[in-house]
Amino acid sequence: MNTDTQTAYRSLATHFYTTRFPEIPVSALDELDEFRIIGALLRAAPEYRPDYFRRLRNALVLDQKLRGHFWIAQEVNRTRNPVTVLGLPRKRKQARRQRISDDDFASWVRALLAKGLGVEAGALMLISMTGARPCELSFKY
């Protein structure tokens, strides 16, 4: 597994432990048993989208393996999302704004120009006119 993925999973698992078990200090997390972890994961399932639930479960499995609790990791890995298994309503994906209004765009460009950021304002105008993605622009200073 990639080290960046491992780091992200450890961070995700630590955040889960601190939010779901606030009464347990971080130093005592090794004392958690599989019933408490799985119970907290199942109670949290309706709050998460299925993709995030799977990512969180994988993070908890990795964290338990790295702590040396292979039995707990195996039991957590067997846990299925009750939202998908029981056909409960899934949490919707957040609506993301696809475009901004012309007035907002104009005020954004004016603000950049007022700050002396002409290159950035030009890049925004180029993106809006051509439909290019920001990653396709190449700035060389």
**Backbone torsions φ then ψ of 5, nearest 5 degrees:** -65, -45
Cα separation, 141 vs 66, in Å, equals 45
pLDDT tens-digit series, residues 108-138: 999 999 999 998 899 888 888 888 877 776 6
At 31-78, the pLDDT tens digits run 888 899 999 999 999 999 999 999 999 999 999 999 999 999 999 999
CA distance 40 to 16: 9
pLDDT of residue 115: 95
Task: Tell me the C-alpha distance between 82 and 42, whole Å.
Answer: 7
Query: Tell me, what's the pLDDT at 139?
Result: 62
Q: pTM for the whole thing?
A: 0.68
Instruction: State both tokens at 53.
Output: 């639930």
Please tell me which residue, 12 or 1, carries the higher pLDDT value: 12
